[in-house]
């Protein structure tokens, strides 16, 4: 069990940042429209880049090979990007008739989630993004799988891994379930002395985990004015690079994946990543992503071997979309059963139709 820790008092620099933050927070909350038109233009062009790399089995490969367990994680990231630009996932079809959903077989999915609760959470997020129901996915009830790992006494889905705890919480939300407040408090209690969150109990704070945790805390109903959320934002500001992007902590350079997940965390906290609080000279985190748009419309660092992965990560951030994506199948199930609607299903965007392209 993780001992609940309290956030450290904010420094003077942190208080100055938080004041700037309050001046750039949208009064009406997170918008579903892109922050700037160049961002949405780049995101849609980037989606065409990804679709051009779709292989015969329907997969858009980011890291793993076809049929591998890692390919399920690739497909999840693909689905997040597809939904972010408003395309119906079932319409992303190859010339052989396979869709992006075709590789999500029970055998592959079961193999992917067998190792950890984080895998179950991410698969639930992917299934909902596919407009399907995580409670009825090829004979799997992912909510049951996640619940079996949950301790109501401690609020833990995973005692040591913060990344898995956050993914499981968001996976529950994607399935339409209410995240237990004990789980949210458990996650908030994993804050480090720097104000950020680390991958596991043995790790210091990092940008990627902190961005993901911000999304999960908001899913769990944690106040965006809480010490933990404000401290996490202040931590992210303290490690922002001179080009306005963010790195992963293992390199002094900014990278696309880290910058994208930080942007999503900022957005989840109802804060504008293009606002003055995140401005460095004439740049901001969104303009950093736009600076990586390549002639082929991909969004990546030219020297990287993972161009598709970076492109997929950038698209939701450019479209100002955060996890989880809602599923009409989940919405219909809960309404038909007269069950309460929780985040994100109590948001107005559930009624927006998906685009067939």
Q: pLDDT tens digits for 223-232?
A: 999 999 999 9
Alpha helix (H) residue ranges in 189-319: 207-219, 227-238, 256-268, 285-290, 307-318
Under the banding of pLDDT at 50, 70 and 90, the label for residue 115 is: low
Mean pLDDT of 11-19: 46
Domain extent listing, the chain: 31-351
Q: What is the pLDDT of residue 13?
A: 47
Mean per-residue pLDDT, 138-148: 92
Considering 61-65, 71-75, 203-207, the range whose residues carry the highest mean pLDDT is: 203-207
For the chain, the 3-state helix, strand and coil shares in percent, each to the nearest 5, are 45, 5, 50
Phi, psi angles (nearest 5°) of residue 5: -110, 150
Going by C-beta distance under 8 Å and a sequence separation of 6 or more, which residues neighbour residue 343?
173, 218, 219, 221
Closest residue by Cα to residue 240 from 275, 195, 279:
279
Q: Does the pLDDT of residue 352 top 90, yes or no?
A: no
In the predicted structure, residue 1 carries a pLDDT above the cut 90: no
Q: What is the pLDDT of residue 155?
A: 98
User: What is the mean pLDDT of the segment spanning 338-345?
Assistant: 93
Cα–Cα dist 210/190, whole Å? 11
Could you tell me the pTM of the whole model?
0.87
> Which pLDDT score, from 0 to 100, does residue 47 have?
95
**CA neighbours closer than 13 Å in the CB half-sphere of residue 350:** 21
According to CATH, the topology of domain 31-351 is Glycosyltransferase (1.50.10)
Q: What is the per-residue pLDDT for 197?
A: 98
Q: Return d(Cα 263, Cα 64) in angstroms, integer.
A: 25
So what's the pLDDT on residue 280?
97
């Amino acid at each position: 069990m993780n001992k609940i820790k309290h956030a450290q008092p904010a420094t003077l620099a942190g208080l100055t940042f938080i004041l700037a933050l309050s001046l750039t927070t949208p009064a009406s909350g997170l918008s579903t429209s892109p922050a700037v038109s160049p961002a949405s233009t780049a995101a849609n062009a980037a989606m065409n880049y990804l679709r051009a790399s779709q292989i015969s089995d329907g997969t858009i490969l980011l890291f793993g090979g076809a049929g591998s367990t890692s390919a399920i994680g690739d497909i999840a990231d693909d689905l997040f990007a597809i939904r972010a630009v408003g395309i119906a996932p079932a319409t992303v079809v190859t010339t052989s008739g396979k869709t992006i959903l075709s590789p999500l077989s029970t055998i592959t999915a079961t193999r992917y989630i067998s190792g950890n609760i984080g895998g179950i959470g991410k698969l639930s997020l992917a299934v909902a993004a596919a407009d399907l129901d995580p409670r009825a996915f090829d004979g799997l009830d992912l909510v049951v799988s996640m619940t079996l790992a949950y301790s109501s006494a401690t609020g833990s889905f995973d005692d040591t891994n913060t990344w898995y705890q956050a993914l499981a919480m968001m996976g529950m939300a994607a399935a339409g379930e209410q995240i237990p407040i004990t789980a949210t408090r458990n996650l908030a209690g994993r804050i480090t002395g720097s104000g950020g969150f680390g991958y596991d109990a043995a790790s210091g704070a990092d940008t990627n985990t902190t961005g993901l945790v911000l999304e999960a805390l908001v899913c769990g109903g944690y106040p965006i004015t809480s010490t933990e959320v404000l401290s996490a934002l202040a931590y992210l500001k303290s490690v922002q690079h001179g080009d306005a992007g963010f790195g992963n902590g293992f390199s002094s350079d900014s990278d696309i994946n880290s910058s994208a997940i930080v942007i999503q965390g900022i957005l989840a906290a109802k804060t504008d990543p293009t606002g003055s609080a995140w401005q460095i000279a004439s740049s901001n985190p969104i303009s950093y992503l736009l600076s990586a748009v390549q002639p082929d419309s991909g969004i990546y660092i030219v020297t990287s071997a993972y161009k598709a992965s970076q492109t997929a990560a950038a698209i939701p951030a450019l479209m100002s979309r955060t996890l989880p994506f809602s599923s009409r199948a989940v919405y219909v199930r809960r309404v038909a059963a007269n069950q309460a609607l929780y985040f994100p299903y109590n948001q107005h965007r559930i009624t927006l139709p998906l685009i067939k392209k």
